[in-house]
Amino acid sequence: MASEWPNMEENDNGGDAQYSSEVAQEQSQNFQPRGGNSERCHYYLHLSDVIISDENVIWWVDTIEGLVDATNYFNSPEVKVVGIDCEWKPNCLRGEDPNQVSILQIATEKKVLIFDMIGLSEGEHDALDTCLKVVFHSPNILKLGYAFHRDLEQLFESYRDLECFHFCDGILDLQKVYGSAKGGLSGLTKTILGSDLNKERRMSNWERRPLTPSQLHYAALDAAVLIAIFNILCLEPSSHGSAGTEHMSHWKSLVTCCTTYVKRIERNSEVNLKADL
């Protein structure tokens, strides 16, 4: 069974909570950021701000049992929108090729599943591929990301033998919706939700096991906040003033598929190989 991480309220990085609703357009009506910008200018966003529950919502997936649970969960009717992010160990030297993706975070309205990609790809390759295909290959699950092409490229380059990363249908890149915000995802979060993301753990060692509670909180929030921002995008203009109203009418036209993107990577690799020969 997927491991539910110990209650995050026991550490100094804030609590877990569950953020529930029925579908993306309906769930947006239930979400209201706590406090305005002036009240929270020195407050970092916490997972409990965007997922409201009394239960632990972080699932650490590193076993075959966890993959079975995750596959069943992704196949359930309630999973319609997910936020996706991934982390890898930073390089020590500039110019080095990036390290392989260490963890993959997939957030829903109710949970954040964090996959130990390094361990699972070695020990449970087929089950991992089957599980992630349910999300990445489904046109019925909307995949949210920020500068998503970078994560997809890194996932593909890290795990080329996993077919789940060869095709991704139903992608909405929030960077394309809102444009490149100053400060990246944290800057967009500040603009839309009123609080910054604490990025102190971004350059930590994501290959260490076990990950620290603060690393898990950071990773989970980076995926969960995508759904919270999408909820604001789906709100009626009268419900939230001018925030995001200019983006509401066209976000559906920005939903894409990355098949051609993956093929482009493969073509570039072939060109580089021929050049080396």
| pLDDT computed for residue 25 by the predictor | 38
Taking the C-alpha atoms of residue 23 and residue 27, their distance in angstroms, rounded to an integer, is: 6
- Is the pTM here over 0.75, yes or no? yes
The number of beta carbons lying within 10 Å of the beta carbon of residue 121 is 18
The number of beta carbons lying within 10 Å of the beta carbon of residue 175 is 17
| pLDDT computed for residue 117 by the predictor | 99
The list of the chain residues with pLDDT below 50 reads 5-41, 236, 238-244, 260
Q: Which amino acid is at 268?
A: N
Q: Which amino acid is at 107?
A: A
Measuring CA to CA, which residue among 14, 12, 85 is closest to residue 51? 14
Taking the C-alpha atoms of residue 2 and residue 71, their distance in angstroms, rounded to an integer, is: 11
Q: Which amino acid is at 238?
A: S
Confirm or reject CATH 3.80.10.10 for domain 3-276, answering yes or no. Answer: no
